[in-house]
Amino acid sequence: MLSNPLHVFSLGFGSGLAWFSPGTFGTLMGWLLYVWINPRMTEGTWPVLIAIAFVAGCLFCHVTGRALGVVDHGGIVWDEIVAIWIVLFVAARYFSSPFEQLFCVLVFRFFDIAKPPPIRWFDRHWKNGFGVMFDDVVAALMSLLTLAAYVYVFRLGGH
């Protein structure tokens, strides 16, 4: 991890080195970072940070994947970190308590692990740093659609 500074990011500050479920540990690291960073951010700065983290992540993940000899190595979790930031930022209006954020994390993990279409297609066909990042962004978007449906049905009464 310390052989290249980019690996520190792509391996989620060490969270991707977990011996089981590194993607879950990376997502939890992303949640922890969100909770730590969020008080210092505004609604306008989060999208900028997420965009920078996505673009930089394409490079981080590409470089680390090459070094490990596996494009989308399980230990590469920067994609989970950025994706959970997207989910938590967009869903914050309706899911702000720690319990509600945990619900968001679980919904995201479902889509990231199950990889239903179209996530699976991107995961199988785009084999570079961009592909590593993009399939998790699609999982984040599907999570947000699910959370929006939940809010519509259970919180707004379907009206």
Secondary structure of residue 116 in the 3-state scheme: coil
Q: What percent of the chain has pLDDT over 70?
A: 97
Name residues whose C-beta falls within 8 Å of residue 9's C-beta, 6 or more positions apart in sequence. Answer: 56, 57, 60, 78
Which pLDDT score is estimated for 158? 59
Which pLDDT score is estimated for 155? 80
Average pLDDT, stretch 5-31?
96
Decide if 141 contacts 83 (C-beta within 8 A). no
- Backbone φ, ψ for residue 110 (5° rounding): -55, -50
pLDDT band at 56 (very low <50, low <70, confident <90, very high): very high
**pTM for the model:** 0.94
pLDDT band at 2 (very low <50, low <70, confident <90, very high): low
Which pLDDT score is estimated for 110? 98
CA-based radius of gyration for the chain: 15
User: Tokens 């992303």 correspond to what residue?
Assistant: 30
